[in-house]
Structure 1
């Protein structure tokens, strides 16, 4: 080869390497690369600072550190390593993470895992009836210890065709601060077992009741039927102690726990299930529209006070709730909301943010399209119990899945609606992958900002 042409090729090749040096770069001098980890910046202009601390983790092991670079509006980069995996098995990912001066750790310090074949390509998959790829997963944050280290872990079934997993430990969108990652582990572990549960709803409008307790008793046959069908949960409708009695909200209001929860507690224990009942609650001089959760041991698990009140309840002096509690049950995490709440996305989103897998919603009547939206946008199962005539194009007594499908619908008064769902299976969306995981990592820093004139 002509020497001048050979020299030209060397120069071009060297220039190409230099142009990529910002993308994947070695550690700073004197710091050995830990177990093959590489540093990657998303762009040269947002490249953070990378260091390795051999004893930087709280357990005395090494820590991979990414810090926001000085004099940059934002920094975004990641430590990346590829692990060998055996397709068709389950694997547990585990890492400890500590953040310092990061604004929103759930967005700033993120783990991303991508399953790849032997050629380093995404795995083909059929998703929602169409050709797609197996998309990356994003393990969620767990508990934080006293030293400020947060456990990030989850177990995943590995696609059969996968031979490797690309693990990325990110610092992103950071104008200050840093993140320390302990050296991660990816180890074989049995994939999560199925969590198939049966959700039920009572499609019943109380008739001719003269008291709160008379109305409660009308639901006993449907609760018994739910027990015979081995339901894990039955949802009853809103304000069930008032509906059809001719009494006012305050007339039937009672303490919680109180007579109604005691009555339903006996039924819950007898039939070995959870009951969500829409009641009117009296607390000091206030009245709340409340959903009570009673457990199979017959005891009150907790309650939710309706946050969004319609004009009728406002005019009757009902007070709003302010909290979004989520309760641990034997089948998973349960949240509750009530009727008018469904017309506002904040309520279901706050429950989902707090971990709800299932939301039970006693409801007088409402827009079924919005109920579907709440299930879809939060990737939860929604159980509703309504007083609406099933022939109307309005709310149904139903179980709604993560795609917004009505799995079962109450068509006749006095009937039980039920469906089986699997809480262990994430819903995979075409191109999006596991949307539930991505909501946590990618939703806005804040919810709805008050207009300036109302502050």
Structure 2
């Protein structure tokens, strides 16, 4: 087996696109689940960014489906990099219509099993069957989307079927695919990160300065455990102050965000602090991400407000920002946001791998659900006593299980995770990779 399997093979130079039953790149065939929904398949030898393109096009009818497919040999227990370019025309949702898949097969043409037991299995210790891999969109240039991913082939895999799909297209829409590449590559380096939560009620003092300074030793404790991201609770300068939301509100940047930014730089880590922001005549419940360079990486304004905040004159936010850090992409939400699936979903739609969640109190089942349904890591920092069996200060895994939790006030818990390690489920495979292709289309409700 050569170290490089290039699928771009010779083809006939033609002056225009050709039908699927004429000359196309070697080994590629056109398929459709049913003849009556079969789209049109053509090959354009000059229709790609630097080569030809495999085209699937709808006629005047909606909902047509088909795919270009090819099966090639592979070796088991090898890492492969898949890459392909895609261009759509007249397609409303390329994430659903233009989908690339890889299906591992054994010598008999069946699905092999993964090398390791699933992290979550209905039968503990069982090796899950290898389900289709869905490479992700990584960049766009000149109208072409680059879709790629690195995958470990199952031990007894001998071949892989490559599929370039056109699904449920609009009338006269089309998807162009370049000829994909499969390259043997090195195993990706682990993306290890240490996530920490602080379990503390700042009961003493009345001022913002007195409240925030109570977290210094806890941040130092977490940093001493090599935490890369430390999450503090919600509205921490307001808690137990006896004042109103407006009394605790500050500009951002401002004294409290500056204080935590200095601690982040001192300990070479990231800190998420729950504060109340004043912006002119408006106030917001916010989570602020401070970086190891001592600057504000970004802030998130709480989108869903409970009765008390509405009655207290707080304004909701309307954005779902996700921020790049040196270890991965971080999103934030605040307390009541966790009662609704939309907030965490919008963050994961934008690439969040970790969601920091300062939260006063919440049903812990909702924390598990938000992590599980998006296959992200979630860190909650709460004001609830552990014995209440309510919200926990905890780190949740992609499957919604609790990796670590804090039981005592004034304590810190830390969990080490690998952001690059996929979670394979029985019958679903890497569900996180499937979310964008499978999640529904939702019309806005007035």
TM-score tier after normalising by the smaller chain length: over 0.9
Alignment of 1:205-354 (within 5 A): 205-354=201-350
Q: Does 1:152 align with 2:147?
A: yes
8 Å CA contact retained: 1:99, 1:105: yes
Q: What residue number does 1:10 align with?
A: none
Which residue does the alignment assign to 1:64? 54
Counterpart of 2:180 in structure 1 is 184
Aligned to 1:165: 160
Return the match for 1:35 from 26, 38, 46: 26
Q: Residue 20 of structure 2 contacts residue 43 of structure 2 at CA under 8 Å; is this kept in 1?
A: no
Structure 1 Cα separation of the partners of residues 84 and 244 of structure 2:
55
Contact 1:87 1:161 in 2 (8 A): yes
CA deviations over 1:378-421 (Å, ceiling 9, x no partner): 00011000001111021000001112111111111000011111
- Structure 1 runs (4+) deviating above 6 angstroms are none
Q: Following superposition of structure 1 onto structure 2, how do residues 416-435 of structure 1 map, counting pairs within 5 Å?
A: 416-435=412-431
Tell me if the contact between 2:98 and 2:165 (Cα under 8 Å) persists in the aligned partners. yes
Partner of 1:174: 169
SS of the equivalent of 1:124 reads coil
Q: 1:393 aligns with which of 386, 389, 397?
A: 389
Of 156-165 and 221-230, more deviation after overlay is shown by: 156-165
CA separation in 1, counterparts of 2:62 and 2:294? 56
Q: Distance in 2 between matches of 1:111 and 1:136?
A: 10
Give the alignment's Cα RMSD to 1 decimal: 1.3
Give the aligned partner of residue 443 of structure 1.
Answer: 439
Shift of 1:131: 5.3
Q: Which residue does the alignment assign to 1:13?
A: none
Corresponding residue number in structure 1 for 2:111: 122
SS at match of 1:216: helix
| SS of match in other structure, 2:19 | coil
Q: For residue 88 of structure 1, what is the aligned residue in structure 2?
A: 77
Which position in structure 1 is the counterpart of 2:12? Answer: none
Quote the Cα distance in structure 1 between the aligned partners of 2:243 and 2:369. 34
Note the C-alpha offset of 1:30.
8.6
TM-score, normalization by structure 1: 0.90
Distance of aligned partners of 1:30 and 1:439 in 2 relative to their CA distance in 1, 3 Å threshold: closer
TM-superposed CA distance for 1:73, in Å, is 3.3
Q: Is the 8 A contact 2:20 2:42 kept in 1?
A: no
Structure 1 position 31, deviation (Å):
3.9
Does 112-121 or 305-314 show the bigger shift?
112-121
C-alpha displacement at 1:311, in angstroms? 0.3
Segments of 5+ residues of structure 1 without an aligned counterpart are: 1-26
C-alpha deviation, 1:97, in angstroms: 0.4
Quick one: distance in 1 between partners of 2:178 and 2:249?
53
Does the alignment pair 1:55 with 2:81?
no
Q: Deviations over 1:425-450 (max 9, x none)?
A: 11111111011011110001226x42
Secondary structure at 1:88 match in 2: coil
CA contact (8 A) 2:20 2:41 kept: no
TM normalised by structure 2 equals 0.92
Q: Does the 8 Å CA contact 2:128/2:425 hold for their aligned counterparts?
A: no
2:21 and 2:390 mapped to 1: Cα distance?
69
Residue of 49, 67, 78 corresponding to 1:78: 67
Which is greater in Rg?
1
SS in 1 for 2:388: coil
Q: Which runs of 5+ in 2 are unaligned?
A: 1-17
Match of 1:408 in 2: 404
Name which structure has the greater RCO, CA cutoff 8 Å, separation 6+.
2
Shift of 1:156: 0.9
Q: How far apart, CA to CA, are the structure 1 residues paired with 2:146 and 2:441? A: 21
Residue of structure 2 equivalent to 1:22? none
Q: Secondary structure at the match of 2:435?
A: helix
